[in-house]
A and B are shown apart, each in its own frame.
Chain A
Amino acid sequence: MRWGRRAASRVTAAADLTRTAIELRGVSHDYGDRPVLRDLSLTLAESRVGVVGGNGSGKSTFARLLNGLVVPTEGTVLVDGLDTRTQLREVRRRVGFVFQDPDAQIVLPTVAEDVGFGLTNLGVPPEERARRVEEVLVRYGLAGHRDHPAHLLSGGQKQLLAIAGVLVMAPQRVVFDEPTTLLDLANTRRIARVVEELEQDVVVVTHHLDLLAGFDRVLVFEDGRVVADGAPAETVRWYVDRMS
C-alpha cells in the first residue's frame, strides 16, 4: 500500500491520480483485411475485470488496446480520460502490461538489471532505482537471484520477474495477457495470489477460469465482439456451457 502511494506521487507528479475508468468508444481493429475487433463500446470502472474467450476471439488485441500497444483502426480508447492515440506516453506509464511468455518480456540478461530496465526508461536516478528494484525483488522472493542470469530461473520465477519488472514502475493499472497459461498449478496459484494482492486495478485475460473467482466483472469475447458481460459466477458458467 505504502509503496503504491509513494510511487504514484513520484511517477505522475502533476497528473490526475484518480482512476476513473477505461472507456472504449466504437472501437474496431483489423490486421490487414482480417477484422479482430468489431465496434466495441464499453466502460470498465471495476477494480478486477476478467476477459475470457477462445483463441482468435480478439481478447489479446483487446488487452493490447488498453495500454496503447495496439491503437485501434477505428474508434477511441480512453484510459482515465487519456487517449491512447494522442497521449501514449502517459497511458503507458499508467498501465503496466504482463505478457503470456515471460521469456518474451525479460529484456536484460540478469534479474536485477531487468527489473531496473523500465525505471531507466523513466529516467529514475540510479540510487532510487536500486532501492526500488531491491524492494520488488524482496517482495517477489527474487532477492536471492539478484545477479543470476534470467534464463536460469524456473518458469514461475520468470513470470514473477516479469511482473516485478512491470510493478517496479508503479503503474496505476496492470493488464495481464494470459499470465498463467505456461505455468504449472502451484505457480498458477502463486500468480493468482500476486494478482489478488495488487492494489492496482487489473484486467486479466485468461483461460484459467478459477483465477476469476473474486473478480468484479467478466467479459466473454467471441469473434471480435463481447457476447457476455457480467458478474463472474454467471458469466463464467454461461461461457463454460457454451464451450461444451
Chain B
Amino acid sequence: MTLSLYVPVASPVHRAPAGLKLGLLAALAVALFLVGRLAVAGGVLAAVLLLGVGVARLPVRALVAQVRPVWPWLVLLLAFHLVFTDWRTGTLVVLRLLTLVVAAAVVTSTTRVTELVAVVEWLARPLAVLGIRPARIGLVIAMTLRFIPLIAERAAAIREAQAARGATGMRWGMLVPLLVQVLRLAHTLGEALDARGADAPAPPRRAGASAP
C-alpha cells in the first residue's frame, strides 16, 4: 500500500479511532450547512487547519495536494456568485466546501487504509442479513490492489506485442485482447480462491468430524 495518501506521524489525531474520525467528518458535513454566518464558517476552517497542521503535524503541502483538485471548482463557484448573487453568499459557499475538503484530507492523511477498510466492513455488518459477508469486502479490496499492477503489466505486454507487429502508440484496439486476457485471469483467480478455501470459510473446530 505504498501509494496511499496516509502520512505516518505519531499524533493523537492519528491514534484516534478511524470510526470516530469518519463520524465527526459526517457530522461536520451536516453542521456546516446549518451555519449561516461567515465568521462561524471561518472559525471552523481555522479550527480544522489547527487540528491538521498543529495537532496532527501534517505537512502543509500534503493538505494542499489534496485540496488542489477542488480549487478550480471553488474559483468557478465564487465567480458565479460574485456575478449572480453577492460576495457574502459566494464566500460562505466556498468556505463551507473548503472546510469540508480540508477536514476530509486530515482524516485521509491520518488514517491507514486498513483501518478505513475495517470501518467499511463494520458499517457493512447489517448487510449480513442479505447474505453479504462483510469480511469479503476486505478481500475484494485487497484483490483490487493486487490487480492494478497486474493489469498495467499485461497492458504493457500487449502493447509490446502489437508494436512488434508494427502498431504505434496507445491504441484502443488493445482493449479487447487485454480484457479477454484479464477476464481469464480473474476466472482462474476465482478458482484459486475456492481451492484455498475462500468459498467455505468455517470455524476450525470439528472440521473433519464427518466420518469418511
- Direct chain A–B contact by Cβ atoms under 8 Å: yes
Stretch from B80-88, B117-125, B184-192 forming part of the interface with A: B184-192
Q: Is B150 an interface residue (CB 8 A)?
A: yes
Contact flag A90-B210 (CB < 8 Å), given A106-B146, A107-B189, A109-B142: yes
Point out the residues of chain A lying under 8 angstroms from B208, CB to CB: 11-16, 90, 93
Q: Is B70 an interface residue (CB 8 A)?
A: no
In the complex, A243 Cα to B197 Cα: how many Å?
A: 38
In the complex, A4 Cα to B106 Cα: how many Å?
A: 49
In the complex, A243 Cα to B175 Cα: how many Å?
A: 37
Q: Is B20 an interface residue (CB 8 A)?
A: no
Chain B residue at minimal CB-CB distance from A128 = B204
Query: Is B194 touching A149 in the complex (CB atoms < 8 A)?
Result: no
Chain A interface residue count, CB cutoff 8 Å, equals 43
Contact flag A108-B143 (CB < 8 Å), given A15-B207, A99-B191: yes
How far, in Å, is A109 (CB) from chain B's closest CB? 5
Point out the residues of chain A lying under 8 angstroms from B196, CB to CB: 105, 107, 117-118, 121, 165-166, 169
Q: Among A69, A88, A99, A121, which residue has its beta carbon within 8 angstroms of that of B198? A: A121
Q: Is B202 an interface residue (CB 8 A)?
A: yes
How far, in Å, is B186 (CB) from chain A's closest CB? 8
Query: Is B142 touching A169 in the complex (CB atoms < 8 A)?
Result: no
Residues of B within 8 A of A (CB): 1-2, 139, 142-143, 145-146, 149-150, 153, 185, 188-189, 191-198, 200-210, 212
Residues of A within 8 A of B (CB): 11-16, 64, 67, 69, 80-82, 87-90, 92-93, 96-97, 99, 101, 103-109, 113, 117-118, 120-124, 149-151, 165-166, 169
